[in-house]
Structure 1
Amino acid sequence: MKKRCSWCEGSKLYKQYHDVEWGVPLHDDQKLFEFLVLETFQAGLSWSTILNKREAFRLAFDDFDAQTIVGYSQNKIEELLGNAGIIRNKLKINATINNAKKFLEIQKELGSFDQYIWQFTNYDVITNAWKTESQIPPTSPVSDAMSKKMKKDGFKFVGTTICYAYLQAIGAINDHVIDCYRYNEVNKL
Protein backbone atom coordinates (compact mmCIF):
# COMPACT_ATOMS: atom_id res chain seq x y z
CA MET A 1 0.00 0.00 0.00
CA LYS A 2 1.29 3.45 -0.95
CA LYS A 3 2.06 5.86 1.87
CA ARG A 4 0.38 9.22 1.29
CA CYS A 5 0.09 12.53 3.10
CA SER A 6 -2.55 11.78 5.72
CA TRP A 7 -4.73 14.79 4.83
CA CYS A 8 -5.95 13.03 1.69
CA GLU A 9 -7.02 9.78 3.32
CA GLY A 10 -10.71 9.10 3.72
CA SER A 11 -11.91 10.51 0.41
CA LYS A 12 -11.50 9.05 -3.06
CA LEU A 13 -11.67 12.56 -4.59
CA TYR A 14 -9.05 13.86 -2.15
CA LYS A 15 -6.74 10.92 -2.87
CA GLN A 16 -7.07 11.45 -6.61
CA TYR A 17 -6.31 15.16 -6.23
CA HIS A 18 -3.29 14.34 -4.05
CA ASP A 19 -2.01 11.62 -6.36
CA VAL A 20 -2.44 13.48 -9.66
CA GLU A 21 -2.46 17.25 -9.12
CA TRP A 22 -1.29 18.54 -5.75
CA GLY A 23 2.32 19.62 -5.79
CA VAL A 24 2.86 18.99 -9.50
CA PRO A 25 4.66 21.97 -11.10
CA LEU A 26 2.05 23.76 -13.19
CA HIS A 27 2.83 26.25 -15.96
CA ASP A 28 -0.42 26.41 -17.92
CA ASP A 29 -2.03 29.84 -17.53
CA GLN A 30 -5.58 28.48 -17.77
CA LYS A 31 -4.96 26.00 -14.93
CA LEU A 32 -3.08 28.60 -12.90
CA PHE A 33 -6.14 30.85 -13.13
CA GLU A 34 -8.45 27.96 -12.23
CA PHE A 35 -6.50 27.35 -9.02
CA LEU A 36 -6.54 31.09 -8.25
CA VAL A 37 -10.34 31.04 -8.51
CA LEU A 38 -10.64 27.89 -6.40
CA GLU A 39 -8.28 29.23 -3.71
CA THR A 40 -10.31 32.47 -3.61
CA PHE A 41 -13.44 30.49 -2.80
CA GLN A 42 -11.61 28.21 -0.38
CA ALA A 43 -10.78 31.11 1.97
CA GLY A 44 -12.24 30.18 5.35
CA LEU A 45 -13.48 26.80 4.14
CA SER A 46 -12.03 23.33 3.73
CA TRP A 47 -10.34 22.31 0.50
CA SER A 48 -12.56 19.21 0.37
CA THR A 49 -15.60 21.51 0.13
CA ILE A 50 -14.04 23.17 -2.92
CA LEU A 51 -12.98 19.89 -4.54
CA ASN A 52 -16.49 18.53 -4.15
CA LYS A 53 -17.86 21.62 -5.91
CA ARG A 54 -15.07 21.95 -8.50
CA GLU A 55 -17.13 20.77 -11.47
CA ALA A 56 -20.01 23.06 -10.47
CA PHE A 57 -17.50 25.93 -10.32
CA ARG A 58 -16.20 24.95 -13.76
CA LEU A 59 -19.71 25.13 -15.21
CA ALA A 60 -20.71 28.29 -13.34
CA PHE A 61 -17.52 30.16 -14.25
CA ASP A 62 -17.39 29.23 -17.94
CA ASP A 63 -14.56 26.72 -17.61
CA PHE A 64 -12.53 29.36 -15.72
CA ASP A 65 -12.16 31.45 -18.86
CA ALA A 66 -10.83 34.82 -17.63
CA GLN A 67 -11.83 36.61 -20.85
CA THR A 68 -15.46 35.57 -20.35
CA ILE A 69 -15.44 36.23 -16.60
CA VAL A 70 -14.32 39.87 -16.94
CA GLY A 71 -17.48 40.51 -18.96
CA TYR A 72 -19.91 39.20 -16.35
CA SER A 73 -23.00 41.36 -16.01
CA GLN A 74 -25.02 42.04 -12.89
CA ASN A 75 -27.47 39.38 -14.12
CA LYS A 76 -24.67 36.82 -14.27
CA ILE A 77 -23.56 37.78 -10.75
CA GLU A 78 -27.14 37.29 -9.52
CA GLU A 79 -27.24 33.92 -11.29
CA LEU A 80 -24.02 32.90 -9.50
CA LEU A 81 -25.42 34.07 -6.15
CA GLY A 82 -28.39 31.77 -6.74
CA ASN A 83 -26.29 28.77 -7.77
CA ALA A 84 -26.42 26.22 -4.94
CA GLY A 85 -23.65 24.19 -6.58
CA ILE A 86 -20.98 26.77 -5.73
CA ILE A 87 -20.05 28.92 -2.74
CA ARG A 88 -22.49 31.82 -2.97
CA ASN A 89 -20.41 34.67 -1.61
CA LYS A 90 -20.74 38.05 -3.30
CA LEU A 91 -17.30 39.25 -2.18
CA LYS A 92 -15.63 36.14 -3.60
CA ILE A 93 -17.59 36.34 -6.86
CA ASN A 94 -16.63 39.99 -7.28
CA ALA A 95 -13.02 39.15 -6.36
CA THR A 96 -12.99 36.48 -9.08
CA ILE A 97 -14.16 39.00 -11.70
CA ASN A 98 -11.55 41.49 -10.46
CA ASN A 99 -8.83 38.81 -10.44
CA ALA A 100 -9.73 37.77 -13.99
CA LYS A 101 -9.14 41.37 -15.07
CA LYS A 102 -5.80 41.50 -13.25
CA PHE A 103 -4.83 38.09 -14.64
CA LEU A 104 -5.44 39.32 -18.21
CA GLU A 105 -3.49 42.52 -17.54
CA ILE A 106 -0.52 40.46 -16.29
CA GLN A 107 -0.71 38.19 -19.35
CA LYS A 108 -0.66 41.23 -21.63
CA GLU A 109 2.21 42.86 -19.74
CA LEU A 110 4.45 39.81 -19.23
CA GLY A 111 3.29 37.43 -21.93
CA SER A 112 1.98 34.90 -19.40
CA PHE A 113 0.62 34.64 -15.89
CA ASP A 114 3.07 31.78 -15.38
CA GLN A 115 5.94 34.25 -15.67
CA TYR A 116 4.36 36.41 -12.96
CA ILE A 117 3.43 33.69 -10.48
CA TRP A 118 6.67 31.69 -10.61
CA GLN A 119 8.78 34.79 -9.93
CA PHE A 120 7.94 34.36 -6.25
CA THR A 121 9.93 31.11 -6.08
CA ASN A 122 12.64 32.32 -8.47
CA TYR A 123 11.14 30.13 -11.22
CA ASP A 124 12.00 26.95 -9.33
CA VAL A 125 10.25 24.51 -7.00
CA ILE A 126 10.87 24.98 -3.29
CA THR A 127 11.26 21.47 -1.92
CA ASN A 128 10.68 21.18 1.80
CA ALA A 129 11.50 18.09 3.84
CA TRP A 130 8.74 17.77 6.41
CA LYS A 131 8.54 14.57 8.42
CA THR A 132 5.01 15.27 9.65
CA GLU A 133 2.18 17.39 8.37
CA SER A 134 2.11 19.29 11.65
CA GLN A 135 5.48 20.80 10.63
CA ILE A 136 4.04 22.38 7.48
CA PRO A 137 3.50 26.10 8.07
CA PRO A 138 0.39 27.96 6.87
CA THR A 139 2.57 30.77 5.50
CA SER A 140 6.17 31.53 4.62
CA PRO A 141 8.31 34.54 3.72
CA VAL A 142 7.65 33.62 0.06
CA SER A 143 3.86 33.64 0.51
CA ASP A 144 4.16 36.88 2.52
CA ALA A 145 6.01 38.54 -0.38
CA MET A 146 3.61 37.09 -2.94
CA SER A 147 0.56 38.31 -1.01
CA LYS A 148 2.01 41.79 -0.62
CA LYS A 149 2.85 42.06 -4.34
CA MET A 150 -0.45 40.61 -5.55
CA LYS A 151 -2.43 42.99 -3.31
CA LYS A 152 -0.34 45.88 -4.61
CA ASP A 153 -1.12 44.73 -8.15
CA GLY A 154 -4.85 44.81 -7.37
CA PHE A 155 -5.69 41.15 -6.74
CA LYS A 156 -8.30 40.31 -4.07
CA PHE A 157 -8.47 37.40 -1.58
CA VAL A 158 -4.73 36.85 -1.79
CA GLY A 159 -3.70 36.80 1.86
CA THR A 160 -0.50 35.00 2.75
CA THR A 161 -2.27 31.76 3.80
CA ILE A 162 -4.17 31.61 0.50
CA CYS A 163 -0.94 32.34 -1.38
CA TYR A 164 0.87 29.54 0.45
CA ALA A 165 -1.90 27.04 -0.33
CA TYR A 166 -1.88 28.21 -3.95
CA LEU A 167 1.88 27.69 -4.25
CA GLN A 168 1.47 24.18 -2.83
CA ALA A 169 -1.38 23.39 -5.23
CA ILE A 170 0.51 24.54 -8.34
CA GLY A 171 3.68 22.71 -7.33
CA ALA A 172 5.81 25.79 -6.69
CA ILE A 173 6.25 24.39 -3.18
CA ASN A 174 6.58 20.64 -2.61
CA ASP A 175 5.03 20.05 0.79
CA HIS A 176 4.40 16.33 0.45
CA VAL A 177 5.83 14.78 3.62
CA ILE A 178 9.07 12.92 2.94
CA ASP A 179 7.59 9.45 3.43
CA CYS A 180 4.73 10.13 0.99
CA TYR A 181 5.27 8.29 -2.28
CA ARG A 182 4.58 11.51 -4.21
CA TYR A 183 7.41 13.44 -2.50
CA ASN A 184 10.14 12.05 -4.77
CA GLU A 185 7.88 11.71 -7.80
CA VAL A 186 7.04 15.41 -7.96
CA ASN A 187 10.70 16.29 -7.37
CA LYS A 188 11.53 14.54 -10.63
CA LEU A 189 9.01 16.53 -12.67
Structure 2
Amino acid sequence: MKQRCFWVTDSELYKKYHDCEWGTPVYDDETLFEFLILETFQAGLSWITILNKRENFRKAFDNFDYKKIATYSESKYESLLLDAGIIRNKLKIRSAITNAKLFMEIQKEFGSFSKFIWGYVNEKPILNKFKKRADVPATTDLSDKISKDLKKRGFKFVGSTVVYAYMQAVGMVNDHTTDCFRYPK
Protein backbone atom coordinates (compact mmCIF):
# COMPACT_ATOMS: atom_id res chain seq x y z
CA MET A 1 0.00 0.00 0.00
CA LYS A 2 1.27 3.46 -0.93
CA GLN A 3 2.13 5.80 1.93
CA ARG A 4 0.50 9.18 1.24
CA CYS A 5 0.38 12.55 2.96
CA PHE A 6 -1.71 12.70 6.15
CA TRP A 7 -4.55 14.69 4.58
CA VAL A 8 -5.48 12.15 1.91
CA THR A 9 -8.73 10.35 2.71
CA ASP A 10 -10.04 7.05 1.33
CA SER A 11 -11.71 8.95 -1.51
CA GLU A 12 -10.40 7.73 -4.87
CA LEU A 13 -10.78 11.27 -6.20
CA TYR A 14 -8.58 12.60 -3.38
CA LYS A 15 -5.98 9.86 -3.90
CA LYS A 16 -5.83 10.56 -7.63
CA TYR A 17 -5.50 14.31 -7.02
CA HIS A 18 -2.71 13.74 -4.50
CA ASP A 19 -0.90 11.15 -6.61
CA CYS A 20 -1.09 12.93 -9.96
CA GLU A 21 -1.50 16.68 -9.39
CA TRP A 22 -0.86 18.13 -5.93
CA GLY A 23 2.65 19.49 -5.60
CA THR A 24 3.52 18.91 -9.26
CA PRO A 25 5.02 22.11 -10.69
CA VAL A 26 2.59 23.89 -13.05
CA TYR A 27 3.96 26.53 -15.40
CA ASP A 28 1.18 27.03 -17.95
CA ASP A 29 -1.12 29.99 -17.40
CA GLU A 30 -4.33 28.07 -18.13
CA THR A 31 -3.77 25.55 -15.33
CA LEU A 32 -2.43 28.23 -12.99
CA PHE A 33 -5.68 30.14 -13.50
CA GLU A 34 -7.80 27.02 -12.95
CA PHE A 35 -6.13 26.44 -9.59
CA LEU A 36 -6.49 30.11 -8.70
CA ILE A 37 -10.25 29.88 -9.28
CA LEU A 38 -10.57 26.60 -7.39
CA GLU A 39 -8.49 27.77 -4.43
CA THR A 40 -10.44 31.02 -4.10
CA PHE A 41 -13.73 29.09 -4.09
CA GLN A 42 -12.28 26.69 -1.53
CA ALA A 43 -11.73 29.45 1.04
CA GLY A 44 -13.60 28.35 4.17
CA LEU A 45 -14.54 24.96 2.71
CA SER A 46 -12.87 21.55 2.44
CA TRP A 47 -10.80 20.77 -0.63
CA ILE A 48 -12.76 17.57 -1.25
CA THR A 49 -15.88 19.73 -1.69
CA ILE A 50 -14.11 21.58 -4.49
CA LEU A 51 -12.71 18.41 -6.06
CA ASN A 52 -16.20 16.89 -6.11
CA LYS A 53 -17.49 19.98 -7.94
CA ARG A 54 -14.45 20.54 -10.16
CA GLU A 55 -16.08 19.31 -13.38
CA ASN A 56 -19.16 21.41 -12.63
CA PHE A 57 -16.88 24.43 -12.19
CA ARG A 58 -15.17 23.55 -15.48
CA LYS A 59 -18.53 23.58 -17.32
CA ALA A 60 -19.90 26.65 -15.54
CA PHE A 61 -16.71 28.69 -16.06
CA ASP A 62 -16.09 27.85 -19.73
CA ASN A 63 -13.26 25.40 -19.06
CA PHE A 64 -11.58 28.04 -16.84
CA ASP A 65 -10.95 30.25 -19.88
CA TYR A 66 -9.90 33.49 -18.18
CA LYS A 67 -10.34 35.47 -21.41
CA LYS A 68 -14.03 34.49 -21.52
CA ILE A 69 -14.53 34.84 -17.77
CA ALA A 70 -13.14 38.39 -17.86
CA THR A 71 -15.96 39.35 -20.23
CA TYR A 72 -18.84 37.76 -18.31
CA SER A 73 -21.98 39.86 -18.40
CA GLU A 74 -24.34 40.52 -15.53
CA SER A 75 -26.70 37.86 -16.93
CA LYS A 76 -23.89 35.27 -16.94
CA TYR A 77 -23.11 36.22 -13.33
CA GLU A 78 -26.78 35.76 -12.44
CA SER A 79 -26.88 32.36 -14.15
CA LEU A 80 -23.83 31.25 -12.14
CA LEU A 81 -25.66 32.19 -8.95
CA LEU A 82 -28.37 29.70 -9.95
CA ASP A 83 -25.94 26.87 -10.82
CA ALA A 84 -26.34 24.26 -8.07
CA GLY A 85 -23.27 22.41 -9.35
CA ILE A 86 -20.84 25.05 -8.07
CA ILE A 87 -20.39 27.08 -4.88
CA ARG A 88 -23.03 29.80 -5.24
CA ASN A 89 -21.32 32.52 -3.28
CA LYS A 90 -21.98 35.98 -4.75
CA LEU A 91 -18.63 37.41 -3.71
CA LYS A 92 -16.62 34.42 -4.90
CA ILE A 93 -18.36 34.36 -8.29
CA ARG A 94 -17.80 38.09 -8.67
CA SER A 95 -14.15 37.63 -7.65
CA ALA A 96 -13.62 35.00 -10.38
CA ILE A 97 -14.57 37.62 -12.97
CA THR A 98 -12.44 40.32 -11.35
CA ASN A 99 -9.48 37.99 -10.89
CA ALA A 100 -9.66 36.91 -14.56
CA LYS A 101 -9.29 40.54 -15.65
CA LEU A 102 -6.41 41.12 -13.24
CA PHE A 103 -4.76 37.85 -14.30
CA MET A 104 -4.56 39.23 -17.84
CA GLU A 105 -3.13 42.52 -16.56
CA ILE A 106 -0.31 40.57 -14.93
CA GLN A 107 0.23 38.69 -18.20
CA LYS A 108 0.64 42.02 -19.99
CA GLU A 109 3.06 43.29 -17.36
CA PHE A 110 5.22 40.15 -17.00
CA GLY A 111 4.66 38.29 -20.28
CA SER A 112 2.81 35.52 -18.44
CA PHE A 113 1.23 34.89 -15.07
CA SER A 114 3.67 31.99 -14.72
CA LYS A 115 6.68 34.35 -14.90
CA PHE A 116 5.07 36.55 -12.27
CA ILE A 117 4.13 33.85 -9.75
CA TRP A 118 7.16 31.59 -10.23
CA GLY A 119 9.42 34.63 -9.95
CA TYR A 120 8.75 34.52 -6.22
CA VAL A 121 10.63 31.20 -5.98
CA ASN A 122 13.22 31.81 -8.73
CA GLU A 123 11.34 29.41 -11.04
CA LYS A 124 12.17 26.41 -8.82
CA PRO A 125 9.96 24.66 -6.26
CA ILE A 126 10.88 25.00 -2.61
CA LEU A 127 11.47 21.50 -1.26
CA ASN A 128 10.33 21.28 2.35
CA LYS A 129 11.12 18.36 4.63
CA PHE A 130 8.01 18.09 6.76
CA LYS A 131 7.61 14.85 8.68
CA LYS A 132 4.15 15.25 10.20
CA ARG A 133 0.95 17.29 10.06
CA ALA A 134 2.07 19.72 12.76
CA ASP A 135 5.13 20.66 10.68
CA VAL A 136 3.15 21.87 7.66
CA PRO A 137 2.30 25.58 7.93
CA ALA A 138 -0.95 27.20 6.81
CA THR A 139 0.93 30.35 5.79
CA THR A 140 4.54 31.49 5.39
CA ASP A 141 6.30 34.82 5.05
CA LEU A 142 6.36 34.20 1.29
CA SER A 143 2.60 33.49 1.07
CA ASP A 144 2.05 36.68 3.10
CA LYS A 145 4.16 38.62 0.58
CA ILE A 146 2.40 37.16 -2.49
CA SER A 147 -1.01 37.71 -0.88
CA LYS A 148 -0.21 41.36 -0.21
CA ASP A 149 0.99 41.85 -3.79
CA LEU A 150 -2.13 40.21 -5.28
CA LYS A 151 -4.45 42.22 -3.00
CA LYS A 152 -2.63 45.43 -3.90
CA ARG A 153 -3.35 44.60 -7.56
CA GLY A 154 -7.05 44.15 -6.72
CA PHE A 155 -7.35 40.33 -6.52
CA LYS A 156 -10.05 38.98 -4.20
CA PHE A 157 -10.08 35.91 -1.91
CA VAL A 158 -6.29 35.70 -1.94
CA GLY A 159 -5.46 35.76 1.74
CA SER A 160 -2.20 34.18 2.84
CA THR A 161 -3.81 30.79 3.64
CA VAL A 162 -5.41 30.60 0.18
CA VAL A 163 -2.13 31.65 -1.43
CA TYR A 164 -0.14 29.01 0.47
CA ALA A 165 -2.64 26.30 -0.52
CA TYR A 166 -2.26 27.55 -4.10
CA MET A 167 1.52 27.37 -3.85
CA GLN A 168 1.22 23.77 -2.63
CA ALA A 169 -1.27 22.80 -5.34
CA VAL A 170 0.79 24.20 -8.24
CA GLY A 171 4.08 22.86 -6.89
CA MET A 172 5.76 26.14 -5.95
CA VAL A 173 6.39 24.40 -2.65
CA ASN A 174 6.71 20.66 -2.28
CA ASP A 175 4.92 19.87 0.96
CA HIS A 176 4.57 16.12 0.51
CA THR A 177 5.64 14.75 3.88
CA THR A 178 8.92 12.85 3.92
CA ASP A 179 7.10 9.52 4.42
CA CYS A 180 4.90 10.06 1.34
CA PHE A 181 5.68 8.09 -1.80
CA ARG A 182 5.54 11.37 -3.77
CA TYR A 183 8.31 12.95 -1.70
CA PRO A 184 11.40 13.21 -3.93
CA LYS A 185 14.09 10.80 -2.92
Question: In which range does the TM-score fall when normalised by the shorter chain?
Answer: over 0.9
**Normalised TM-score (structure 2):** 0.98
Q: Contact 2:139 / 2:164 at 8 angstroms: preserved in 1? A: yes
Q: Contact 2:6 / 2:132 at 8 angstroms: preserved in 1? A: no
| Counterpart for residue 20 of structure 1 | 20
Q: Distance in 1 between matches of 2:6 and 2:129?
A: 16
Q: Deviations over 1:116-175 (max 9, x none)?
A: 111222221111101102210100011000001111111111100000000000000000
Moved over 6 A (4+): none
Aligned runs of 1:160-175 on 2, under 5 Å? 160-175=160-175
Q: Distance in 2 between matches of 1:120 and 1:93?
A: 27
Tell me whether 164-173 or 116-125 shows the greater mean CA deviation: 116-125
Q: Deviations over 1:32-73 (max 9, x none)?
A: 000000001000000000000000000000000011001111
Q: Contact 1:130 / 1:175 at 8 angstroms: preserved in 2? A: yes
Q: Contact 1:120 / 1:145 at 8 angstroms: preserved in 2? A: no
| Counterpart for residue 151 of structure 2 | 151
Report % sequence identity: 60
Quote the RMSD (CA, aligned, Å): 0.9
| Counterpart for residue 102 of structure 1 | 102
| Counterpart for residue 141 of structure 1 | 141
Q: Which runs of 5+ in 2 are unaligned?
A: none
Q: Distance in 2 between matches of 1:51 and 1:92?
A: 17
Q: Distance in 1 between matches of 2:165 and 2:40?
A: 11
Count of residues paired in the alignment:
185
C-alpha displacement at 1:11, in angstroms?
0.6
Aligned runs of 1:36-75 on 2, under 5 Å? 36-75=36-75
In terms of fraction of residues, the more helix-rich structure is 1
